[in-house]
């Protein structure tokens, strides 16, 4: 990331809100409403901030919401950037650098994903234990600013084990069933072919989606603790005898929203 761009965005953010967040939230498909639970909130549209591109996907609001959730100071991204919209991976990850500069120590990332693991079912929530990057590059390609992190960052603990344990604890006390697994990121926007899904399963992926990995790479680079949760909205291509649709993804995300929200809020309360 370019430190100057991040600082310029931060400077404007600080003129819009005096809040100092400790936890960042990236809200994926269907979870955007969680931002409405944030108390005493300030909303800052991305288009008010320098170096933030305009979002293009309908239904994605495209703003930061800062305030209190379960007594914690949070900054939530209501709407995120996707590589398939035409944004570079650096652009997709840029808000993470801004949230880090704003003060966050922990990043909680959510997404919708297709289930590759045959033991999964639509509606399952999966804690991400690791990822496979099948995007066409990295958000860290280009000059490295040592103020953010090292040129060659370690990714072996990108999904913070202690946070995974905490999330499992919260889920078991709330009676929420959780899966765990490896998230594989592809650019999309087309869904995968059945042959691609068989390949991904062979490679060790449990779920596939079109987001999250650029943001997590940037977060790990910047030394943030990360927790990732996927909502398995559908079984991946070729598993069931039916075509995939965005409609199904939205419908399932809507169906499990309550559990998902309860889990995320429970985890934030524990942080
Ligand atoms: N593939 C890729 N991305 C997705 C899927 C899928 O099956 N479901 C939700 N996001």
Task: Please provide the DSSP assignment of 203-229 as one string.
Answer: HT-SEEESSSHHHHHHHHHTT-EEEEE
Q: Which two tokens stand for residue 175?
A: 């009676």
DSSP 149-190: --SS---TTSS-HHHHHHHHHHHHHHT--EEEEEEEE---SS
How far is Cα 70 from Cα 50, in angstroms, rounded to an integer? Answer: 30
Beta pairing, strands 207-209 & 225-235 = unpaired
pLDDT, residue 57, reads 58
Task: Kindly state if the Cβ of 107 falls inside 6 Å of ligand 1.
Answer: no
Q: What is the pLDDT of residue 131?
A: 98
Count Cβ atoms within 10 A of the Cβ of residue 4 and give its class: 0-12 exposed, 13-18 middle, 19 or more buried.
exposed
The C-alpha angle with vertex 8 and arms to 2 and 11, in degrees rounded to 5, equals 140
Q: What is the pLDDT of residue 56?
A: 66
Distance (angstroms) between ligand 1 centre and the Cα of 113 equals 4
Tell me which residue range forms the domain holding 155: 3-270
Q: What are phi and psi of 7, to 5 degrees?
A: -65, -35
Q: Which atom of ligand 1 is nearest to the CA of 115?
A: 7
> What's residue 179's pLDDT?
98
Question: 15: number of CA atoms within 13 Å, CB side?
Answer: 9
Q: What is the pLDDT of residue 197?
A: 98
pLDDT at 77: 95
Q: Which of 60, 83, 221, 259 is catalytic?
A: 60
pLDDT value of position 28:
87
Angle at 183 between CA 182 and CA 187, to 5 degrees: 150
Distance CA 244, CA 143 (A): 39
CA 160 distance to own-chain centroid: 14
Distance CA 49, CA 8 (A): 8
112 lines ligand 1 (CB under 6 A): yes
Q: Who's near 161: CB < 8 A, 6+ residues apart?
A: none
Interval 137-163: pLDDT, tens: 999 999 998 989 999 999 999 999 999
Name the stretches of the chain with pLDDT < 50. Answer: none
Q: How many domains does the chain have?
A: 1
**47: Cα within 13 Å, side-chain hemisphere:** 5
List, in sequence order, every residue forming a beta bridge with 108; answer none if it has no partner.
25, 227
Nearest atom (ligand 1) to Cα of 237: 7
According to the model, what pLDDT value does residue 241 have? Answer: 87
Distance 58 CA to ligand 1 centre (A): 17
Is residue 25 reached through a cis peptide bond, with omega within 30 degrees of 0 on the bond before it?
A: no
How far is Cα 267 from Cα 271, in angstroms, rounded to an integer?
6
* Residue 87: CATH number of its domain: 3.40.50.1580
């Amino acid at each position: 990331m370019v430190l100057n761009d991040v600082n310029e965005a931060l400077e404007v953010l600080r003129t819009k809100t005096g809040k100092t967040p400790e936890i960042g939230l990236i809200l994926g498909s269907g979870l955007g409403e969680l931002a409405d639970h944030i108390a005493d909130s300030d909303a800052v549209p991305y288009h008010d901030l320098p170096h933030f591109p305009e979002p293009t996907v309908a239904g994605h609001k495209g703003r930061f919401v800062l305030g209190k959730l379960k007594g914690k100071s949070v900054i939530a991204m209501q709407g995120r950037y996707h590589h398939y919209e035409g944004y570079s991976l650096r652009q997709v990850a840029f808000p993470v650098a801004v949230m880090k500069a704003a003060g966050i120590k922990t990043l909680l990332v959510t997404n919708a994903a297709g289930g590759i693991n045959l033991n999964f079912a639509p509606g399952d929530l999966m804690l991400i234990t690791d990822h496979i990057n099948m995007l066409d590059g990295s958000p860290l390609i280009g000059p490295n600013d040592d103020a953010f992190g090292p040129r060659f960052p370690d990714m072996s603990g990108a999904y913070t084990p202690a946070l995974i344990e905490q999330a499992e604890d919260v889920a078991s006390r709330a009676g929420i069933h959780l899966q765990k697994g490896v998230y594989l990121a592809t650019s999309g926007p087309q869904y995968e072919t059945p042959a691609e899904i068989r390949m991904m399963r062979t490679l060790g992926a449990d779920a596939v989606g079109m987001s999250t990995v650029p943001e997590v790479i940037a977060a790990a680079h910047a030394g943030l603790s990360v927790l990732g949760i996927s909502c398995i909205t559908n079984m991946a291509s070729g598993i069931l005898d039916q075509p995939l649709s965005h409609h199904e993804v939205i419908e399932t995300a809507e169906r499990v929203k309550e559990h998902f929200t309860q889990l995320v809020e429970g985890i934030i309360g524990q942080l």
